[in-house]
Structure 1
Amino acid sequence: MDVTIYHNPTCGTSRNTLELIQHAGIEPTVIEYLKTPPSREQLVRMIAEAGLTVRQAIREKGTPYGELGLANPDLTDNQLLDAMLATPILINRPFVVTPLGTRLARPSEVVLDILPADAFKGSFTKEDGEQVLDQEGKRIV
């Protein structure tokens, strides 16, 4: 299965998402988006395919969101996209693209919605100790 993750290795959610993908036996294409940001077209497509608004795809925490005045409700989607592309840390992460769909994997287990359900063998526990899959590889709700 062709899977791409827009990854930040310093982010726990992004690391957990990558590990879940690998736990499914899939070696994804990993794009460290802070080093190699998506094109405007790619970013717009991922946001739309994930069913998000541009504002929902912006990361506020740990970014210059406030200093840049991005909370201003009068800003257009194009202005927000310009800011995200100029300062990629503003792109929320991780976005994951598979043939089954695109998701902003927050929380990380959202990625399970776009991976083959039968791919998981055994349990999976996130870095924080939360168990996501049981011993049979079934999602814990």
Structure 2
Amino acid sequence: MKIIEYLKQPPSTAELEHILDKLGMEPRQLMRKQEAPYKANNLADTQLDKATLIRIMVENPILIERPIVLANGKAAIGRPPEAVLAIL
């Protein structure tokens, strides 16, 4: 298992798209809506497309819910920690 600290090393657009695919989520589902960049970028606006949301997440990695665990070709958000057990 590899640990990537998104705040220090943000994922690329392709990496984030891959993670979203594995999680079966749309960008807003993986966002931390309480963070300042969410409000500052008006990310609740339903007119924003997926590419725009992903670009903003890459530019502001604090928006990405974490931890995200990738293992055995699957992905899970580690909150609660027990959610990771399903993919191990």
TM-score for the superposition, normalised by structure 1: 0.58
CA RMSD of aligned residues (A): 1.3
Which of the two has higher C-alpha Rg?
A: 1
Greater strand fraction, Structure 1 or Structure 2: 1
Match of 1:74 in 2: 47
The code of the aligned residue for 1:75 comes to: L
Distance 1:61 1:35 in 2: 20
> How many positions carry a matched residue from both structures?
88
**How far did 1:88 drift?**
0.6
The code of the aligned residue for 1:86 comes to: E
Query: CA, structure 1 residues 103+60, in 2 after alignment: closer, same or farther (shift >3 Å)?
Result: same
Distance 1:110 1:49 in 2: 14
Q: Which aligned pairs between 1:48-127 and structure 2 lie closer than 5 A? A: 48-115=21-88
**How far did 1:36 drift?**
0.3
Q: Which runs of 5+ in 2 are unaligned?
A: none
Moved over 3 A (4+): none
Give the % identical residues. Answer: 39
Q: Which moved more, 1:31-40 or 1:53-62?
A: 53-62
